[in-house]
Amino acid sequence: MTETNKISRRSMLTASAGLAATAISGTTIGKSMIVTPANPEGPFYPKHKQVDKDSDLTLIEGHTERAQGEVIKVTGQVLDDKGLPVEGALVDIWQANAHGRYHHEDDPATAPTDPNFQGWGMVKTDAEGRYAFTTIKPSAYMVDDKWSRPPHIHYKVSRRGYHEITTQMYFAGEALNEKDNLLNEVAENERDLLVVDFNEINGVLHGNFSVVLAKVS
């Protein structure tokens, strides 16, 4: 599914008075947008300070080797519920490595650690509300013998004047998505908003995940 389709599915048909319907990269200003569904933070939000939290999770400052795994690029826009870009929003992501293990002391997984994977990154959106990360595709991991989490990236998105959102981004086409207890907590008609299609561009998988924040009234 293209980003344009995804955004238009978010859009409801109530046009907001006073705003011209101007297209911005597939979105339509002036229409009410569905606020991105929340999804649990989970137990592995980083506990300890980390010097390098930049937008390239595949390379830790000072290291010569890159992270293991398939490199992906995740880009998107942070928008308000009228479809207007939110500049200066903090996009905070954390995820498991290519083996399905978090860089977190509470992760009971026995899968290998990857000392060259940053695991955590933060960026602020630009004037058009855009952000971009380079990272690796996380692996699935077992929660217990009946439940394996599909590959996912955790997100927290915040900006003064807006309600903070904690959620998770999923990869389209993963068989585990349909059985995932946390993705299934999202209302069925909004679940697709968290599931992103990745397409190869110049040998790298690209996905677009836009986040809609509600204004604090």
Q: Which residues bind Fe ion (CB under 5 A)?
A: 42
Rounded to a whole number of angstroms, the minimum distance from the CB of residue 162 to Fe ion is 24
Out of 10, 101, 141, 191, pick the active-site residue.
141
206 has catalytic annotation: no
**CB closer to Fe ion out of 116 and 166:** 166
Between 26 and 42, whose beta carbon lies closer to Fe ion? 42
Residues 10, 103, 149, 159: which is the catalytic one?
A: 149
Instruction: Say how many C-beta atoms besides its own lie within 10 A of residue 157's C-beta.
Output: 24
Single-letter amino acid code for the residue at 156: K
**102 is annotated as an active-site residue:** yes
CA distance readout (Å), 24 to 56, 78, 151: 26, 12, 30
- Helices and strands in the chain, H and E counts: 1, 16
Choosing from 10, 101, 102, 159, the catalytic residue is 102
Place of tokens 């293990």: 101
Tokens of 165: 């959102």
Instruction: Give me the residue whose beta carbon is nearest to Fe ion.
Output: 42
The CB-of-25 to Fe ion minimum distance in angstroms stands at 29
Q: Tokens 């290291």 correspond to what residue?
A: 63
Nearer to Fe ion, 42 or 69 (CB): 42
Nearer to Fe ion (CB atom), residue 83 or residue 100: 100
Sign of CA dihedral 2, 91, 214, 194: positive
Catalytic residues: 102, 141, 149, 152, 154
